[in-house]
Structure 1
Amino acid sequence: MNSRQSLVGGATNDVGRATSWLQRELRLPEPDELARLLAAPPGDAVPLVLPFLTGERSTGWVGSARATLHKVGFAATAVDLYRGTLEAIVWSFQRIAEQLAVVGGPVDRASVGGRVTNEAPGLLPLLADGLGIDLVPVTIKRSTLRGTALVALDVIAPDEKRADVTTGQTIRPRSDQADRLARRRAELDELYRAVVPAIPSGSRPPL
């Protein structure tokens, strides 16, 4: 950005697209009931999912990658498929967060915003569990524009008071989910290596 600051991040294609696709194609319960079901311990029928409906950006940058459903049995329900996809989205963010920690160090709290954080039942609790950090939902619209404005204000009005942003209740990780999600991540890493073609590291764009 300038000689003193850098902006780093990771890009994903299929978060809002993936949840919208599931809500369109599956016979899911109403949002409140779906969130309640997702708060319960998962059964054994939850499949492994790679969520690349429109290709992968961070972290592998394999544009030809497509979604994979693995270990789908007859007992799997629409809620199981939904949960598996949410876990896959969490896995994508885990991979990005791991690389960001190399650059900026570990974090214990993050702000989250955007349409999908408000419209995808059950996503934020699972994301907090998977990342192992507190999440603070930002409730304003176009939340990414606020970040852009803060960057600009550092240049054009560094002494101007910043407006407070409205937030929801902090979501804290549930310690009893850590071991399961760690196993889930290892299984998804293995599935990714098995089905997504590797590309030369030198051809990947920076994070």
Structure 2
Amino acid sequence: MNGITLLEATLGVDIGTTGCRCVAYSDQADVVVKAERLYPTSSPKPGWAEQDSDLVLAQVEECIKDAVKSAAEAHYRVNLISFSAVNHGLIPLFEGKPLRPCIIWADNRSASITEQWRIERRHKEFYEATCCPIHPMYLPGKLVWLAKEEPEIFLRADRFLSLKELLFYRWFGRFVIDASIASSTGLFNVTKFDWDEDIMRITGIRREQLSEIVPTTYVLRGMNREVYDRLGLSADVQVVIGAGDGVLSSLGAGALGPGEVTVMIGTSGAARITVATPTLDSQGRTWCYYLADAAWVVGGAINNAGLTLQWVREKWLNGASFEEVEKLSANVAPGSEGLMLMPFLTGERSPNWDPSIRAALIGLDLAHGPGHFARAAMEGVAYRLKSVFEPIVEMAGVVRSVRIGGGFIASPTWVQIVADVLNSPLEILEEPQGSAFGAVVLGWLAVGRIKTLDECTSLARQQKVVYPNTLQAIFYENQYTHYQRIYDRLYR
């Protein structure tokens, strides 16, 4: 480029639910450029959530292309790419082509199937084998639904895979899945570190219909030359398969040590902690997914986090901007003057795994206006997050730090609400794209630029700490007790 020596950059590609985010980092872990491309989710029937995999992957490639081009303009050359991707997607494939839209994590169509398994008391069997509770989010229920309701597709399919697997098949001509995404399917036996034969038998699929499981640090080789040219990449670029977005969020936050908890609010929400071996909760409230050798991530997740506020904005606030919602919510007192939102628009994941329950507004009054709806949404999500934070705290014993990420950190009001509800200081990191950065760290480990994952702890730089307000924390503790009573009356 006109005689200019290009510096090297690593690209973290995060294939999320609502869009793809690409972030290029220098070797000093500084952000070089960012790019984003969005794509829609369709809901053709109540409880369904699908995406057009061809459209999604086209947008992923466009996002990568944008980032590579922008990096070059900033005098950087992308020589390493590592991937983060959303979990729990299911695409039936025949001869390399999708037979139907991808059924994503938010889909509840198999609720009656998983409920029957619960009635049959098979929860322990599934959970102990896979560290994944019985829930429509996971693949076993989706596969049985497909066999019953779309048998022509189920029988025709020669492969069942996720979005990232389909991308790599198109790039490299191989069916491979990283051990992290595999561990989140509900089909992976954590003890054998392989596909579970009994659960495959229950779902009616064969081993050859699933991808080859490889380490999260696996370097893919033999990319189609046309892909290099299309994306603007040099032929010597290295591609690391990476892991799931949840576990990489913890890695990107540098939360690998004892008592280091991460809390995330994006479309969904989660609380997580890293452990050395697969770990179960005695009450089955949590899941556990693989990150790397001697690094597993235990977590609890909620379906309806940023999704809830987005729904309130669109349905109740005439499509108000995020900035407008922030102002409205900031002008309403804690407790939203008696208005409480139970945020179960797409059912419940952790801790009780009930996909059938739905949202409710409690205490609606003539005096309530737009700001009350906005703040009640933020508070409702925070209460639900506390319900998954509590089992993680029990597992941690002593909480040393709580690091936060996701789109909600752009809202000072929402961050303060979460700090008060959890009654914990929250550490905000300089780089909020935790999953993309986690993918980059994993890529550096794969190619030997770092020797251990622990080295990432010094790379996750703290921007500031938000402390709970003592009086508001006491108030919210009482509100949470009230919230729990309402939850028990409505749903238990």
Distance across 2 between alignment mates of 1:46 and 1:75? 10
Alignment of 1:22-171 (within 5 A): 22-27=312-317, 30-31=324-325, 33-34=327-328, 36-38=330-332, 41-42=333-334, 45-118=337-410, 120=411, 122-147=413-438, 150=441, 157-159=450-452, 161-162=455-456, 164-171=459-466
Does the Cα contact within 8 Å between 1:90 and 1:127 map onto a contact in 2? Answer: yes
How big is the shift at 1:42?
3.5
The residue aligned with 1:172 is: 467
Work out the number of aligned pairs and report it: 194
Distance across 2 between alignment mates of 1:186 and 1:25? 28
How big is the shift at 1:159?
4.9
CA offsets, 1:24-65, max 9 Å, x none?
Answer: 223368255335415xx3477331221011111111111111
Quickly say closer, same or farther: Cα 1:43–1:182, change in 2 above 3 A: closer
The residue aligned with 1:191 is: 486
Larger Rg computed on CA atoms = 2
Q: Unmatched 5+ residue regions in structure 2? A: 1-289
The letter of the residue matching 2:475 is R
Is residue 16 of structure 1 aligned with residue 306 of structure 2?
yes
SS of 2:361's equivalent in the other structure is strand
SS of 1:6's equivalent in the other structure is strand
TM-score by length of 1: 0.79
CA offsets, 1:85-104, max 9 Å, x none?
Answer: 21111111111111001211
The residue aligned with 1:205 is: none
Distance across 1 between alignment mates of 2:303 and 2:335? 28
TM-score by length of 2: 0.36
Identity of aligned residues (%): 22
Whose strand fraction is larger, Structure 1's or Structure 2's? 2
Per chain length, whose mean CA-contact separation is higher, i.e. which structure has more relative contact order (CA < 8 Å, sep 6+)? 1
How big is the shift at 1:167?
4.3
Q: Unmatched 5+ residue regions in structure 1? A: 199-207
Quickly say closer, same or farther: Cα 1:13–1:44, change in 2 above 3 A: closer
Does the Cα contact within 8 Å between 1:109 and 1:135 map onto a contact in 2? Answer: yes
The letter of the residue matching 1:62 is D
Quickly say closer, same or farther: Cα 1:10–1:43, change in 2 above 3 A: closer
SS of 2:337's equivalent in the other structure is coil
The letter of the residue matching 1:126 is I
Does the Cα contact within 8 Å between 1:46 and 1:76 map onto a contact in 2? Answer: no
Whose helix fraction is larger, Structure 1's or Structure 2's? 1
The letter of the residue matching 2:472 is Q
How big is the shift at 1:112?
1.1
SS of 1:63's equivalent in the other structure is coil
How big is the shift at 1:192?
0.9
How big is the shift at 1:115?
2.0
Does the Cα contact within 8 Å between 2:343 and 2:360 map onto a contact in 1? Answer: yes
RMSD: 2.8
Distance across 1 between alignment mates of 2:444 and 2:315? 43
The residue aligned with 1:203 is: none
**Residues 28-37 or 177-186, more deviating:** 28-37
Quickly say closer, same or farther: Cα 1:66–1:85, change in 2 above 3 A: same
How big is the shift at 1:121?
5.6
SS of 1:146's equivalent in the other structure is helix
